[in-house]
């Protein structure tokens, strides 16, 4: 699939946010914009802030100060602001105050719609309640919540009082919750009594209760009522959400804070050691979100965005803060995309008139076996843009979404980055697309593909994805662990941020991600991304999913092990056919050493396949932090297959 499959028409080019931004700033084209942003960060970020009218109580004196070096750049010095000033307060007295901010649907079909005025009212009430608990500036307040309306309000209320929000994956067990609360020094946590998961009620507060016993700093547990479950209650510590400030029905002041002060703390899992705490600021995360979502992805105030991701991952806060700052509507959904009905995803798009759909490649591969028939009866003409992140696409999944769901008319914005800075690479609606491709670097990142010595690589060669610039929105170190920050990201290739992904670009200038650096294989001297081999396996039509890993081999350097989830019965004949498919596509050196059939692959809550866990199990190594897995039982199955 080397040909372009989508090209923007004249109308899309004319309406694009990027077109308006470049025209407003006298920039000829995207290449010129990227070059100027890298050469003059002060100019670029000042222009992004102005374009989105990101507001300050006190204007900043300087855009940035890099005197301490790239890893420690400070932004908007002298300025004071608050993300809630920009998400809610600025809407008061305008037509936007009455626009739809939230369209929510629970797993049981319950629905709720809130305008910006409604969200503001609920945020003020929650902020007043936090202040009555003596929570305020600098306090870390965690949230262990599913996708309920109170999750949006919690993120906003914590920022409104000047606190630091710590979103936790709603599926975490007690040990994972306790570890993150301890590292953060959290003073409070917001949770639910229980919530529905695929038709059964799962109690959540007992998880927090068990974790709380290990956290000396924790003073308050705030509980949202969502399900009828029996829970323990600790007087003096526990408080119901609806009792926080029941008599409050007015305005509540928004804390005026330095622009670069923290408001969001998110933990990412490492292959070894404790989770890494990523620190985002009131000016960094929201403005970078406007660049990534607004300029590159073309999100508009008229859009309704749905992205079925847990609030504990970066996509959740990006939906809340990014969408509201830009004046759009969040379609928040509790539960899974294929429960209680297998076509739930498409029914939600049609019912809520979603125009901007975020979707993970794994979710598409999960839904594909149901065939295009699942789309029948659902009016998907509302769709304007697809966007995706989290892991590389396979061509068959990319084309299935593009052809069957988007009918060949909806661009698929491929987007790659991380919790640490949101995006590094993106597609745009101004550029033609090939399956699985990116247009290239997001302006201001200085993204490049380099060898081990930091030299830029030409088209066709695979290398490390790096940033030569430190963009606004990059984490301010790691929470209480700056030495690890430098070792992990900045000291691998001195002077550059090494992201840990392998990438390449083709002769047409399009970029591709080949997976994590430690996932990439080197077979007979050739570096190959697992997605390339997995695509060959999936193209047989006999598998639901596949994860390819490399294990040490004295002749080839690495030997292939293909761990596969079969669509039907698994036997030696199927293994033989799969092996031949890989050889036919890549040659004899790529013949798998072993093909293993399993019922499921280990995944995070946002459905990213954890190849490092597969590799660790089959290599007999420590798989590292497993707390983010949605299906830890898959690891047990893997271990049993390995021993077998």
Q: How far apart are CA 343 and CA 373, in angstroms?
A: 9
Query: What mean pLDDT comes out for the span 41-55?
Result: 98
Tell me if residue 386 falls in helix, strand or coil.
strand
| Of 319, 192, 371, 401, nearest in space to 606 by CA | 319
pLDDT score for 556:
65
pLDDT in tens, 564-613: 999 999 999 999 999 999 988 888 888 999 999 999 999 876 677 888 88
> Of 205, 226, 258, which marks where a domain is finished?
258
Q: What pLDDT is recorded for position 526?
A: 64
Reading the block at residue 393, the tokens are 């696409």
In a domain, 295, yes or no: no
Domain membership of residue 68 (yes or no) is: no
Taking 90 as the threshold, does the pLDDT of residue 7 lie above it?
A: yes
Under the banding of pLDDT at 50, 70 and 90, the label for residue 626 is: confident
* Domain C-terminal end among 234, 258, 282: 258
**Measured distance CA(640)–CA(644) in Å, rounded:** 6
Asked if residue 142 belongs to a domain, the reply is: yes
- Residue 66 DSSP symbol: -
CATH of the domain at 589: 3.30.300.30
DSSP code at position 571? -
Let me know if residue 409 belongs to a domain: no
CA distance 271 to 269: 7
* Domain presence at residue 574: yes
Of 319, 322, 404, residue with least CA distance to 357: 319
What pLDDT score was predicted for residue 292? Answer: 98
Query: Tell me: the pLDDT tens digits for 204-214?
Result: 999 999 999 99
Residue ending a domain, among 258, 288, 308, is 258
Rounded to an integer, what distance in angstroms lies between the CA atom of residue 433 and that of residue 206? Answer: 48
> Does the pLDDT of residue 278 top 90, yes or no?
yes
Rounded CA-CA distance 541/535 in Å is 10
Residue 364 domain-assigned? Answer: no
| Cα–Cα dist 289/284, whole Å | 8
Judge whether 627 lies within some domain: yes
- CATH number for 248: 3.40.50.980
Q: What is the C-alpha to C-alpha distance for residues 141 and 164, in angstroms, rounded to an integer?
A: 6
CA angle 408, 409, 415 (to 5 degrees): 90
Query: Domain total for the chain?
Result: 2
Q: Retrieve residue 339's tokens.
A: 């429960």
Per-residue 3-state assignment (H helix, E strand, C coil) for 315-350: HHHHHHHHHHHCCCEEEEECCCCCCCCCCHHHHHHH
Instruction: Give CA 232 to chain center in angstroms.
Output: 34
Look at residue 316 and tell me whether its pLDDT is greater than 90: yes
Q: Which domain does 245 fall in, by range?
A: 117-258
Q: Which residues lie below 8 Å from residue 500, measured CB to CB, with a gap of 6+?
A: 465, 516, 517, 518
Q: At what angle do helices 116-132 and 149-160 cross, to 10 degrees?
A: 60
Report whether 605 contacts 628 (CB < 8 A): yes
Whether 436 is covered by a domain: the verdict is: no
Write the DSSP assignment of 231-256 as a string of letters.
Answer: ----TTTEEEGGGSSTT--S--PPPP
Q: What's the pTM?
A: 0.87
**Tens digit of each residue's pLDDT (9 = 90 or more) over 283-308:** 999 999 999 999 999 999 999 999 99
Per-residue tokens: 129: 């309640």
């Amino acid at each position: 699939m080397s040909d372009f499959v989508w090209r923007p028409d004249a109308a899309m080019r004319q309406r694009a946010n990027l077109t308006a931004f470049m025209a407003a700033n006298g920039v000829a084209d995207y290449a010129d914009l990227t070059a100027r942003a890298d050469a003059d960060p002060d100019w670029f970020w000042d222009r992004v802030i102005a374009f989105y009218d990101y507001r300050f109580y006190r204007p900043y004196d300087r855009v940035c100060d890099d005197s301490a070096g790239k890893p420690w750049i400070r932004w908007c010095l002298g300025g004071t602001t608050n993300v809630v000033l920009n998400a809610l307060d600025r809407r008061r007295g305008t037509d936007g105050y009455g626009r739809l901010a939230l369209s929510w649907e629970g797993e049981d079909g319950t629905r709720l719609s809130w305008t910006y005025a409604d969200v503001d009212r609920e945020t003020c009430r929650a902020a007043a309640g936090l202040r009555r608990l003596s929570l305020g500036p600098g306090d870390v307040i965690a949230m262990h919540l599913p996708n309920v309306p109170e999750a949006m309000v919690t993120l906003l209320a914590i920022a409104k009082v000047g606190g630091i929000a710590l979103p936790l994956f709603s599926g975490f067990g007690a040990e994972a919750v306790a570890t993150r609360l301890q590292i953060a020094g959290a003073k409070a946590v917001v949770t639910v009594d229980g919530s529905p998961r695929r038709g059964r009620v799962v109690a959540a507060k007992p998880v927090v209760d068990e974790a709380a016993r290990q956290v000396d700093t924790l003073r308050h547990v705030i509980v949202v009522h969502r399900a009828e479950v029996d829970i323990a209650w600790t007087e003096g510590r526990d408080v119901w959400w609806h009792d926080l400030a029941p008599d409050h029905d007015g305005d509540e002041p928004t804390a005026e804070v330095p622009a670069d002060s923290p408001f969001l703390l998110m933990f990412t899992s490492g292959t070894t050691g404790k989770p890494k705490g990523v620190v985002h600021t009131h000016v960094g995360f929201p403005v970078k979100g406007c660049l990534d979502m607004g300029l590159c992805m073309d999100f508009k105030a008229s859009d309704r965005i749905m992205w079925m991701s847990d609030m504990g991952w970066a996509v959740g806060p990006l939906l809340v803060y990014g969408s509201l700052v830009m004046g759009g509507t969040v379609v928040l959904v509790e539960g899974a995309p294929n429960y209680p009905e297998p076509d739930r995803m498409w029914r939600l798009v049609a019912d809520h008139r979603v125009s901007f759909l975020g979707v993970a490649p794994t979710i598409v591969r999960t839904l594909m076996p149901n065939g295009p028939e699942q789309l029948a009866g659902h009016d998907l003409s509302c769709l304007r843009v697809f966007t995706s992140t989290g892991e590389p696409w396979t061509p068959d999944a990319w084309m299935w979404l593009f052809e069957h769901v988007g009918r060949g008319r909806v661009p698929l914005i491929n987007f790659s980055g991380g919790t640490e800075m949101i995006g590094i690479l993106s597609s745009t609606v101004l550029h033609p697309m090939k399956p699985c491709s990116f247009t290239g670097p997001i302006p201001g990142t200085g993204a490049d593909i380099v060898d081990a010595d930091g030299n830029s690589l030409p088209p066709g060669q695979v290398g490390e994805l790096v940033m030569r610039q430190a963009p606004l929105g990059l984490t301010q170190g790691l929470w209480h662990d700056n030495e690890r920050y430098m070792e992990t990201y900045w000291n691998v290739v001195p002077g550059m941020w090494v992201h840990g992904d392998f990438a390449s670009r083709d002769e047409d200038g399009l970029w591709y991600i080949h997976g994590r650096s430690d996932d990439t294989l080197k077979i007979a001297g050739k570096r190959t991304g697992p997605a390339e081999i997995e695509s060959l396996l999936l193209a047989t039509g006999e598998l639901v999913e596949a994860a390819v890993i490399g294990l040490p081999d004295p002749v080839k350097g690495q030997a292939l092990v293909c761990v596969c989830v079969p669509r039907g019965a698994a036997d030696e004949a199927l293994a033989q056919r799969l092996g031949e498919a890989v050889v036919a596509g890549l040659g004899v050196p790529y013949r798998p050493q072993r093909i293993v059939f399993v019922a499921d692959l280990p995944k995070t809550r946002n459905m990213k396949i954890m190849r490092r866990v597969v590799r660790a199990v089959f290599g007999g190594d420590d798989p590292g932090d497993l707390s983010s897995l949605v299906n830890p039982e898959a690891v047990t199955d893997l271990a049993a297959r390995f021993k077998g």
